[in-house]
């Protein structure tokens, strides 16, 4: 769950004397991995084909192979020879060095944050006794998404309202709550998945159990 104004203090542990203890994010285990080369090559071919508005049939006919065979190349299920790749590149208006340059750059990053290293952060609901545990840290000029583990209890009868860009997703782990979205309220129970636009004013309306816990993910628009 996000906030009407962005919080800029992060903490681990409890808030002391009403103020957050600022700390840098704890170390996370990160790794960069690449899919198999056949998959990367096929994905590059497909991107080039789609960008040019060509169908599988268009390209397959031009290089004298079957549509199923080209489809298997694009999905990484089969390996194309260098000679065939050169012919496909010619039809797509590119060349092998350009194709292989894209293939070499294709990679993805993974991040593991152990439970003991997950950091609590201050949000609008913190002053109401709600806890927000950040489940992923992202470097770079802008965030693509923010995942939180949120715990709330009935000790506070006051609940903040939130409004932010992007889309929010809630997955209820334990307890039940009524959740307000604009002029409507929804009953959210364990196992329920609730997705909504962050730009509409939203937030917990009423807790139906003493304690609740849920995961929320905010996906920011590109």
pLDDT band at 178 (very low <50, low <70, confident <90, very high): very high
Amino acid 24: pLDDT = 53
In this structure, what token pair is assigned to residue 103? Answer: 């293939």
The pLDDT tens digits for 20-64 are: 334 555 555 555 556 678 888 888 899 889 989 999 999 999 999
Q: Can you give the pTM of this predicted structure?
A: 0.53
Per-residue pLDDT at 119: 78
Q: What are φ and ψ of residue 167, in 5° steps?
A: -120, 140
Start-to-end CA span in the chain (Å): 19
Look at the alpha carbons of 48, 53, 57, 62 in this order and tell me if their dihedral is positive or negative: negative
């Amino acid at each position: 769950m996000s906030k009407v104004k962005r919080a800029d203090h992060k903490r681990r542990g409890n808030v002391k004397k009403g103020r957050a203890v600022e700390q840098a994010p704890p170390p996370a285990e990160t790794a960069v991995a690449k899919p198999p080369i056949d998959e990367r090559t096929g994905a590059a071919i497909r991107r080039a084909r789609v960008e040019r508005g060509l169908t599988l049939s268009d390209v397959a006919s031009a290089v004298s192979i079957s549509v199923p065979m080209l489809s298997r190349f694009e999905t990484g299920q089969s390996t194309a020879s260098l000679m065939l790749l050169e012919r496909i590149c010619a039809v797509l208006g590119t060349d092998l060095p350009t194709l292989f340059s894209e293939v070499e750059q294709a990679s993805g990053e993974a991040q593991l944050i152990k439970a003991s290293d997950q950091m609590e952060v201050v949000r609008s609901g913190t002053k109401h006794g709600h806890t927000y545990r950040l489940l992923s840290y992202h470097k770079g000029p802008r965030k693509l998404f923010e995942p939180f583990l949120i715990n709330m209890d009935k000790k506070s009868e006051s609940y903040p309202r939130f409004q932010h860009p992007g889309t929010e997703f809630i997955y209820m782990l334990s307890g039940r709550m009524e959740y307000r979205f604009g002029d409507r309220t929804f009953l959210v129970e364990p196992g329920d998945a609730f997705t909504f636009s962050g730009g509409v004013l939203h937030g917990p309306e009423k807790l139906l159990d003493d304690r609740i816990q849920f995961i929320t993910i905010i996906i920011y628009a590109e």
